[in-house]
Amino acid sequence: MRILITGAGGQLGRDLQGALAGDEIHPATHAELDIGSRAAVLGAIERIRPAVIINAAAFNDVDGAETSGELALAVNGAGPGHLAEAAARTGARLVHISTDYVFDGTKGSAYTEDDRPNPLSAYARSKYEGELRVLDSEAAACVLRTAWLYGRHGKNFVTTILKTAERGGPLRVVSDQVGSPTSTHDLAEAIASLIRTPARGLFHVVNRGACSRYELARAVVSGRVEVEPISSGEAARAAPRPANSSLVSVRWEAAGLTPLRTWEAALKDFLKGLAPG
């Protein structure tokens, strides 16, 4: 299968290349393909003629988007629309990656695909715009909402906690933000399975279960250093975060796809893989 991966230099993009190693992969980093450029996208997809496009490209600086809203919207909003237009023109399938942050976190329990989004931040609004452009297009498309991604490649919460813990504790981590930590390895494998099916539409795809940032940090350091809980207000980040944006799916299994394992099992394997020897 000929597959174009946008955002191929990121943590998910790199794991996708491993998960799809048996296919004809055309990885494109942001430097190689800026999805914010309609002309660049249409030209690249006309040239490559992929059967599947997986959009892992994104402006992921949640706080930076508060002052760079136009750039975030170009990449996260307009970009997926350009890919959807090109996919519809060439008959390609499109898999677009979105986020749990499209929700405001006030539900008090995990969100399903049937819940109504209400994005709080500029980043979240740009990602929701991307979803709408893909789902409203004529492309054969899937939108996958995922959450709290971590992997071996690139910067993420888990590796940041590990590096910070090396300098000693205590670590101060917010305890009033709950979500679904998800391994990019597991998500990449799930996408590799998805594209072998005729599935279409919106899906939530995360490692099962939920925890707070504080609980996740404690699981990462495993008692090696002290972790102190703080509030989001004490963390004083520029962009608002949802209090509980954990996800569950009512559609993934119905499409014949296997649910991802628990976040605890995925994290355990990830940390084991980082251990020397």
Active site residues: 123
Cβ atoms < 10 Å from Cβ of 221: 20
The three-state secondary structure class of 14 is helix
Cα Dmax for the chain: 55
What sign for the dihedral angle of Cα 156, 161, 163, 164? positive
Pairing of strands 227-230, 171-174: parallel
3-state SS, residue 41? helix
Which positions ≥6 away from 43 have C-beta within 8 Å? none
Q: Which residues of 190-202 are buried (b: 16+ CB within 10 A; e: fewer)?
A: bbbebbeeebeeb
Distance in angstroms (rounded) separating the CA atoms of residues 28 and 215: 35
Of 226, 222, 204, 223, the C-alpha closest to 268 is 222
Instruction: Give the span between the Cα atoms of 82 and 70, in whole angstroms.
Output: 16
Q: Record the tokens describing residue 232, joined without a space.
A: 């989001």
